[in-house]
Amino acid sequence: MDLTFNKNEDHNKLKLSELRRRLAEVKLGGGKKRIEKLHAQGKMSARERIDYLLDKNAPTIEIGAFAGDGMYAEHGGCPSGGVVVKVGYVKGKQCVVVANDATVKAGAWFPITGKKNLRAQEIAMENKLPIIYLVDSAGVYLPMQDEIFPDKEHFGRIFRNNAIMSSMGITQIAAVMGSCVAGGAYLPIMSDEALIVDKTGSIFLAGSYLVKAAIGESIDNETLGGATTHSEISGVTDYKAKDDMDALDKIKNIVDKIGDFEKAGFNRVEAKKPTENPEDIYGILPASRTDQYDMLEIIKRLVDNSEFEQYKEGYGKTILTGYARIDGWAVGIVANQRKVVKTKQGEMQFGGVIYSDSADKATRFIANCNQKKIPLVFLQDVTGFMVGSKSEHGGIIKDGAKMVNAVSNSVVPKFTIVIGNSYGAGNYAMCGKAYDPRLIVAWPSAELAVMSGNSAAKVLLQIEKASLEKNGEPLDPEKEKALFDKIKQRYDDQISPYYAAARLWTDAIIDPLDTRKWISMGIEAANHAPIEKQFNLGVLQV
């Protein structure tokens, strides 16, 4: 191995080590002391509940582990958005599991909690997967109620989705394993089946204190809305469990009886491992986001047998398109080529930039995959579309619009992996979050922004400098450099993959070696939902 490979490997493994460290921190939720307090109450933590429920030794993926990361510091923080979401298997059936984390503000709903719950429901709805709610929540976090309560994508949307999923025939099971208060009380009861744990679970629109204040009635919470009340008097719940494990065992038994599903019919054969060593990815991927590398070498380490059948190999070379298999599933790959390439006319094209010919090629390939019912995988390392008079006169806007159109109207499931840069309109054309990928994840090397930190800082510095000079405050070189560094640092913080993951612009930050698992489980989930629409590009400026 050469020196550059070794330096890249060291850099990327340090990034991976940071990822593991930060994941370990967020998995503690509100901290060890609060977990111990739950145990003293006879309750399991949110993650313990999910681990017990899901099949042992079966693969899982976690959605939004970094949701809320670095946010709400003035409110004490909100690790993982106060809710844990995993896609895994219960009795061999793929399910979405949503568990409130009572160690984080008693499981109260912050704005990011609502967004994460809606993302979990979106995954269940798109893929027609059963969804299981493990409820233990104090309801809306009142100091921020204006940001979670009344809008379209706020708290009430959860219950609307409950109703929509019921009409779609998507199984919803809820277990009340702690508090279930006020508007949140509707979630389990709008599910198909509801369980409640004796002595620790409770459901009511208003607790005993509010009841006393509102109507003068004195009553304890257990009598008001405990397990016995709702299982034997109100009939609100369907099953009464003696403890957390009993409730989770009952859920397993219910899921075990669910019938088979109609399949979308995506092509799958026996899986084969890549013949090229996947761990080479750490050495191939450069430490600097401006350095070139051959994306084809990354693809060979992600796909079965390292086989990639390129489509239009000699045309539009800054985007690689072609067919492959990942864990046995047939896929169409659209990837940004990050090395400088030469056209047939002898012109040099910059790696990571989308040119007219590349956009044209990608549009045609996406249409082909839709016709053949082949899921699409986008590997992003893109700085944007080519600019300048030659590109503008050549119709780059028109060709870029065609590609965006194809991505937008695609009916096969799409999966996006942000490997490196994800800048500007390149993010859109390569199926960013706004274009409904079934799953979108980032590697630790990813950067998401309108432009790079260096470019943005130069632009923002010029604006700031002009404003100061207008007010008679010219900058000397030393102050100008200090201002540039300050602006760049602020912008660099915002292009971090952790900043994006905290806001759920991506579903996760993952080890590159987990990419195959995410795509495979994602296609398996998508196979639950037959394609009901025809691919139609609509009106195009030909």
Lowest-pLDDT range, 79-83, 221-225, 512-516?
Answer: 221-225
pLDDT tens, position by position, 162-171: 999 999 999 9
Average model confidence (pLDDT) across the chain: 93
Q: What is the pTM of this model?
A: 0.94
Amino acid 393: pLDDT: 61
Amino acid 221: pLDDT: 85
Residue 515 has pLDDT above 60, yes or no: yes
For residue 370, which of 205, 536, 538 has the smallest C-alpha distance?
Answer: 536
Residue 451 has pLDDT above 80, yes or no: no
For residue 437, which of 537, 536, 334 has the smallest C-alpha distance?
Answer: 334
pLDDT tens, position by position, 252-263: 999 999 999 999
pLDDT (average), residues 233-237: 93
Alpha helices, H only, 169-304: 186-189, 208-215, 221-225, 227-228, 244-256, 281-284, 295-300
Residue 395 has pLDDT above 80, yes or no: no
pLDDT (average), residues 392-409: 87
C-alpha angle 46-138-54 in degrees, rounded to nearest 5: 20
Amino acid 1: pLDDT: 60
Residue 453 has pLDDT above 80, yes or no: no
Q: What percent of the chain has pLDDT over 70?
A: 99
What is the Cα–Cα distance from 541 to 525, expressed in whole angstroms? 35
Amino acid 473: pLDDT: 78
pLDDT tens, position by position, 111-165: 999 999 999 999 999 999 999 999 999 888 889 999 988 898 998 999 999 999 9
Q: In sequence order, what DSSP letters do the residues of 397-448 get, joined into one string? A: HHHHHHHHHHHHH--S-EEEEEEEEEEHHHHHHTT-GGG--SEEEE-TT-EE
